[in-house]
Amino acid sequence: MSKQNRSLRQLERRDVLKAGLVLAAGGEALGAGYAAVPDAFARGIYAANREGLHRDQVLVMIQLAGGNDGLRTVVPLQDNRLHDLRPTLAGASVSGALELDAQVGLHSALTGIKALWDQGRVAIVHGVGYPDPSYSHFESIRVWETGDPSRRQVDGWIGRMLTRGYDSAGHPLTGCACGATSTPGMMRDVGSTVAVIQDRQSYGFAEDDLEAIVGSVYRETPGIYGALFDTTVATLRHTIAELDQALPVSQDGSDTQPSYSQSPENQLAQALKLGAQLIIAGTGVRLLHVTLDGFDTHYAEKDAHDQLIGFLDESVSGFYAELAQHGLASNVLLATWSEFGRRPGENVTGGTDHGSAAPLLLIGDPVRGGRYGREPDLGRLDGDGNLTHTVDFRSVYQEILDVHFGTDPRQILGGSFEPLPFLKAT
Amino acid sequence: MDLLKRWPTRRAVLAAALAAGAGSAALGVLTSRAWRPFPADRSPGGWPSPLHTERGRLAHLLRRATFGVTQEAMEQGLQDGFDRTVDRLMEQSAEPAGLISPSDPAQGSMLALNDLQHWWLRQMLSTPAPFVERMTLFWHGHFTTEYQKVGYGSPFIYWQNLTWRRLRLARLGPMLREVTIDPAMLQYLDLSGSDASDPDEPPNENYARELMELFTMGPGAYSEADVKAAARALAGWSTPPPNATVDVVVDEQSQATEPVDVWSQPLTGVFDPGAAYSRKVAFLGRTGRLSLDQVIDQILAQPATAPFIVRKLWRHFLSPAPAADAVRRLAGAFRTAGYDVRALMRLLLKSPESVAPDSYRALVRSPVEFMVAAALALGAEPDAAAGLIADYADPAGQALFQPPNVGGWPGGASWISPAEMLARFNFASALLDQVATPPPAAHAADLHLDAVLSAPTAQRLRAADSDRQRWLVVLTSPEFNLK
């Protein structure tokens, strides 16, 4: 099928689905009952706001959960202080690095991403963080999710974009967390509907009665969780219905393609596989969130981190190759994020404790390959022994919002940040 | 009520209700029993509260402190009254059957995750003391530990469950001491193996940070220097070495055996002075060579600690938004009582806030609570139901011994996602397939949902044409998923 045909079919499906939903949702949307349920998850999802985002761009946020060690991901090759700070970790890390230039190399397991780098499809942003960093996983995750270091904002930055830029009620698969069971904080917003699919095989009702029952029961549910319940169950029903059309679960398993990874432990490979299937099937998915867990490497870091970085590499490589094979890679941008980097100095147990700034990887055809920002100075650690960030993480979000999605970043981020031109102008 | 099937009519009804100022016009109430009509003391947009009746309060308490309402517990509660029922909960006690046979200690070193999950779920489904399980589940999410990191081949996480249930209502001080030297915790948060004997080598900070951030005080109540100081003061505690050797069959055919080191009975961590820090530290305002007990004393002396624990328990048992003045009041009482968790739980459950109208259905049942409650409501056979719950717990978002991370399960709105709700619905369906003869559904909404139903639930329940369908409506309803 040509690319043009696909996008046409895609459009039709979207329109059909939306028309169906508007009819089905009419009563709920118009019912004055919502005014009688004045809770946080206001029923704003039915108010379509289609300003701004017109292009069919896809963003995949890859969470490296636990705090990824930036100094073992993008390795400084010339700085001897690394060996002083990390007597057991630095040696193999530096000698095995895949050299990008005289200054830095990628972790030895990032062979697939190195190949994409050689094609100009990888941007590295050095020293990303935020002022007065928190060393708490949960506080720092929230900062990254909301895009707000002052910790007042509660909605996720992608959730805000979803609500502002897309008619999510008409198209509940616009935002999707793959391989997860709970909604990622980055995608949460009072007005956004987000699909959460752990795996395609189990994403269906066990019996027809269930669909009918929950479809009729989850309406105008009172209480503080009422609207969240109703929105969630409506999203569930509509996304199952759409997937049954667009991506049916095969009865005989013949459409099961090989995974990107040999290891059943590689949760990221399975999640990205599902993400690729959603894109290829023409579901119209735009914002994907996937997670690779285990980066909190306080203890015996070397083997654990090597394995995780290998998982990242094979998953991303497989995902890119599959989209490219279908001629769908040109609009898809992948971005890694992690709540913090790790302490430059290793601890007595061969691991590293919570740190601050770390590099991010941006991967895909929309990227203008190269290194951006400035590497933090290993000679100028702060009083706690941590790096000082050189790039505000919101500069990265800003570039994605502005260039990839063509929307006004100030509307989402509440301010302007240092420009960081890692994407090709469109 | 049939008029509500068509939305323009519903619209008109709702508009009229709005005009009349009634916030809950969309609610229908099954008319079969008790506490009707509801008084006006309902939160805006909330469920009409039955908590002005003794039966309503008891049902509310049983859902929050046990795994739901049973006929027997309700009858006992009506005899005893609400206050006495809370006291009785505090006295509940029952031990699960041991998972490791004393005659075969090697079992303890080969515990599969599924065996552990099944063992605990079976206890939840069959215990006469469900409050013990609810408190143990609370602590499992608070002082959380994950099976995989503790490691296949050790009984530590099983021992931890036994320890948490023993300490479920203990004083916080002794509890923190045992938490710190609990072998599974030593392994999970890396204190085991840390070494501060060389002042130039930084010890592992993992446990020291989470002890303050997640277990006792919350972020912002301590400095990075306090984290480093505690990491030094606590270094030296490690997991206990195996204390027995047994012969294990390694080849079924030849019955050949090999000696394997095992742990034959629960042990605590061991202290190696050679790995300890030999100098003074400055920790939370106290300077000296601090022992484990002194570290804990310093934490208990901080004003942040009591309110932190009160808020955590409040969010688990009372409502998502603890009121500041009530937290102050309870935190003061908690400290005065020497951080006695039993005294705090009694105060919490008897507090006016716990039966205030706006606390009614203000909490989401966790996936495990939901599934156990459903199985008990249907009278499911514990072994079979435990297996089914273990299968659905992961997709529903709460696999026991597998918390998402060191923060445990965040609860509340995080329990409500498309994937998680789907798992709950499909579980209800599978459970109804498993239970051959469920109790008659006629009174299910009365007993389990207080007969307080939204109009759509009430309507769907009336439309159901079989007991199976009625149960499916009750178990999948928003009402049953709340507490």
pLDDT reading at B32 higher than 70:
no
pLDDT classification of A8: cutoffs 50, 70, 90: very low
pLDDT mean over B264-269: 92
- Of the residues A292, A347, A354, the best mutation for testing chain B's interface (the one with the most B CB atoms within 10 Å of its CB) is A347
- 3 state DSSP class of A63: strand
What is the pLDDT at residue B28? 35
| pLDDT higher at A6 or A307 | A307
pLDDT reading at A168 higher than 70:
no
A369 to each of A62, A330, B431, how far by Cα in Å?
A: 19, 14, 54
* Rounded Cα–Cα distance for residues B150 and B159 (Å): 12
Helix ranges (DSSP H) in A326-408: 393-399
Note whether B205 contacts A180, CB cutoff 8 Å: no
- Of the residues A150, A348, A384, the best mutation for testing chain B's interface (the one with the most B CB atoms within 10 Å of its CB) is A348
- pLDDT digit string, tens, across residues A254-290: 455 678 998 999 999 999 999 999 999 988 899 999 9
- From the CB of residue A255, how many other CB atoms can be counted at a distance below 10 Å? 11
Q: Which of residues 25-44 of A touch B (CB under 8 A)?
A: 26-28, 30-33, 35-39
- Do the beta carbons of residue A214 and residue B425 sit within 8 Å? yes
To the nearest whole Å, the CA of A366 is away from the closest chain B CA by: 31
Which member of B22, B206, B478 has the closest CB to residue A298?
Answer: B206
pLDDT mean over A153-170: 80
Chain A contact set for B227 (CB, 8 A): 135
Which member of B364, B426, B430 has the closest CB to residue A225?
Answer: B364
The verdict on A239 touching B (C-beta cutoff 8 Å) is yes
Note whether A224 contacts B204, CB cutoff 8 Å: no
Chain A contact set for B8 (CB, 8 A): 27
- Of the residues A141, A142, A181, A285, the best mutation for testing chain B's interface (the one with the most B CB atoms within 10 Å of its CB) is A181
Closest CA to B428 of B462, B463, B385, B459: B385
- Do the beta carbons of residue B341 and residue B29 sit within 8 Å? no
* Rounded Cα–Cα distance for residues B460 and B63 (Å): 23
Chain A contact set for B402 (CB, 8 A): none
Note whether B195 contacts A207, CB cutoff 8 Å: no
Q: Which of A248-252, A290-294, B387-391 has the lowest mean pLDDT?
A: A248-252
pLDDT mean over A214-225: 94
Note whether A195 contacts B11, CB cutoff 8 Å: no
- Of the residues B24, B234, B417, the best mutation for testing chain A's interface (the one with the most A CB atoms within 10 Å of its CB) is B417
B356 to each of B42, B334, B335, B480, how far by Cα in Å?
A: 9, 21, 25, 19
* Rounded Cα–Cα distance for residues A423 and A365 (Å): 9
Note whether B406 contacts A296, CB cutoff 8 Å: yes
pLDDT mean over A228-240: 93
Instruction: Tell me which chain B residue has its CA closest to the CA of residue A225.
Output: B413
Q: Which of residues 341-370 of A touch B (CB under 8 A)?
A: 345-349, 351, 353-354
pLDDT mean over A355-366: 98
- Do the beta carbons of residue B93 and residue B109 sit within 8 Å? no
* Rounded Cα–Cα distance for residues B279 and B295 (Å): 15
Q: Which of B144-148, B222-226, B244-248 has the lowest mean pLDDT?
A: B244-248
- Do the beta carbons of residue B446 and residue B401 sit within 8 Å? no
What is the pLDDT at residue B24? 34
User: Rounded mean pLDDT of chain B?
Assistant: 90
Three-state helix/strand/coil letters over chain B: CHHHHCHHHHHHHHHHHHHCCCCCCCEEECCCCCCCCCCCCCCCCCCCCCCCCHHHHHHHHHHHHCCCCCHHHHHHHHHHCHHHHHHHHHHCCCCCCCCCCCCCHHHHHHCCHHHHHHHHHHHHHHCCCHHHHHHHHHHHHHCCCCHHHHCCCCCHHHHHHHHHHHCCCCEHHHHHHHHHCCHHHHHHCCCCCCCCCCCCCCCCCHHHHHHHHHHHCCCCCCCHHHHHHHHHHHCCEECCCCCEEEEEEEECCCCEEEEEEECCCCCCCEECHHHCCCCCEEECCEEECCCHHHHHHHHHCCCCHHHHHHHHHHHHHCCCCCCHHHHHHHHHHHHHCCCEHHHHHHHHHHCHHHHCHHHCCCCECCHHHHHHHHHHHCCCCHHHHHHHHHHHHHHHCCCCCCCCCCCCCCCHHHHCCHHHHHHHHHHHHHHHHHCCCCCCHHHHHHHHHCCEEEHHHHHHHHHCCCHHHHHHHHHHCHHHHEC
Closest CA to B307 of B223, B220, B224: B220
- Do the beta carbons of residue B403 and residue B141 sit within 8 Å? yes
Which member of B201, B407, B473 has the closest CB to residue A217?
Answer: B473
Which member of A205, A232, A348 has the closest CB to residue B201?
Answer: A348
Which member of A32, A205, A225 has the closest CB to residue B426?
Answer: A205
To the nearest whole Å, the CA of A18 is away from the closest chain B CA by: 19
Closest CA to B273 of B256, B288, B291, B251: B291
The verdict on A296 touching B (C-beta cutoff 8 Å) is yes
pLDDT mean over A324-328: 95
pLDDT reading at B424 higher than 90:
yes
Note whether B204 contacts A299, CB cutoff 8 Å: yes
Six token digits for residue B227: 């984290």
Chain B contact set for A346 (CB, 8 A): 202
pLDDT mean over A32-46: 26
pLDDT mean over A53-58: 68
pLDDT reading at A376 higher than 50:
yes
Closest CA to B348 of B151, B52, B42, B135: B135
The verdict on A182 touching B (C-beta cutoff 8 Å) is yes
To the nearest whole Å, the CA of B229 is away from the closest chain A CA by: 12
Note whether A223 contacts B361, CB cutoff 8 Å: yes
To the nearest whole Å, the CA of B158 is away from the closest chain A CA by: 23
ipTM higher than the 0.85 cut: yes
- From the CB of residue B154, how many other CB atoms can be counted at a distance below 10 Å? 21
Q: Beta A370-372 vs A122-129: how paired, if at all?
A: parallel
- Do the beta carbons of residue B204 and residue B241 sit within 8 Å? no
A–B interface: beta-carbon pairs under 8 A: 224
Please give the DSSP secondary-structure letter assigned to residue A342: B
To the nearest whole Å, the CA of A213 is away from the closest chain B CA by: 6
> Percent of chain B beyond pLDDT 90?
83
Which residue, chain included where needed, has tokens 């297996």? B387
Q: Phi first, then psi: give them for residue B57, nearest 5 degrees.
A: -65, -40
pLDDT reading at B33 higher than 50:
no
What is the pLDDT at residue A257? 61
pLDDT classification of A170: cutoffs 50, 70, 90: low
* Rounded Cα–Cα distance for residues A320 and A305 (Å): 22
DSSP element (H, E) containing A157: helix A157-165
**Residue A264 preceded by cis peptide, ω within 30:** no
pLDDT reading at A149 higher than 90:
yes
Chain A contact set for B362 (CB, 8 A): 223-224
* Rounded Cα–Cα distance for residues B315 and B307 (Å): 12
pLDDT mean over A368-396: 97
pLDDT classification of A251: cutoffs 50, 70, 90: low
- pLDDT digit string, tens, across residues B301-360: 999 999 999 999 999 999 999 999 999 999 999 999 999 999 999 999 999 999 999 999
B52 to each of B85, B360, B407, how far by Cα in Å?
A: 17, 11, 36
Which member of A36, A218, A354 has the closest CB to residue B26?
Answer: A36
Chain A contact set for B395 (CB, 8 A): 181, 198, 202
Sign for the pseudo-dihedral over CA of B433, B434, B436, B441:
negative
* Rounded Cα–Cα distance for residues B143 and B138 (Å): 9
Six token digits for residue B472: 């499916």
Note whether A236 contacts B421, CB cutoff 8 Å: yes
pLDDT mean over B179-201: 97
Chain B contact set for A138 (CB, 8 A): 219, 407
Chain A contact set for B473 (CB, 8 A): 213, 217
DSSP element (H, E) containing A60: strand A58-65
- pLDDT digit string, tens, across residues B86-117: 999 999 999 999 998 878 877 777 889 999 99
Chain B contact set for A154 (CB, 8 A): none
Note whether B219 contacts A138, CB cutoff 8 Å: yes
The verdict on A299 touching B (C-beta cutoff 8 Å) is yes
Which member of A206, A229, A351 has the closest CB to residue B478?
Answer: A229
What is the pLDDT at residue A119? 98
pLDDT reading at A169 higher than 60:
no
| pLDDT higher at A27 or A353 | A353
Which residue, chain included where needed, has tokens 């981020």? A413
* Rounded Cα–Cα distance for residues A57 and A404 (Å): 7
Note whether A354 contacts B11, CB cutoff 8 Å: no
Note whether B476 contacts A181, CB cutoff 8 Å: no
The verdict on A228 touching B (C-beta cutoff 8 Å) is yes
Chain A contact set for B202 (CB, 8 A): 345-348, 353, 385
Instruction: Tell me which chain A residue has its CA closest to the CA of residue B42.
Output: A223
DSSP element (H, E) containing A230: helix A226-246
The verdict on A137 touching B (C-beta cutoff 8 Å) is yes
Q: Phi first, then psi: give them for residue A168, nearest 5 degrees.
A: -70, -25
What is the pLDDT at residue B1? 28
pLDDT mean over B72-85: 98
DSSP element (H, E) containing A336: strand A332-337
- Do the beta carbons of residue A31 and residue B7 sit within 8 Å? yes
User: Which residues have C-beta within 8 Å of that of residue B8, sequence separation ≥ 6?
Assistant: A27
* Rounded Cα–Cα distance for residues B13 and B8 (Å): 9
- From the CB of residue A96, how many other CB atoms can be counted at a distance below 10 Å? 14
Note whether B45 contacts A65, CB cutoff 8 Å: no
Three-state helix/strand/coil letters over A106-153: ECCCCHHHHHHHHCCCEEEEEEEECCCCCCCHHHHHHHHHHCCCCCCC
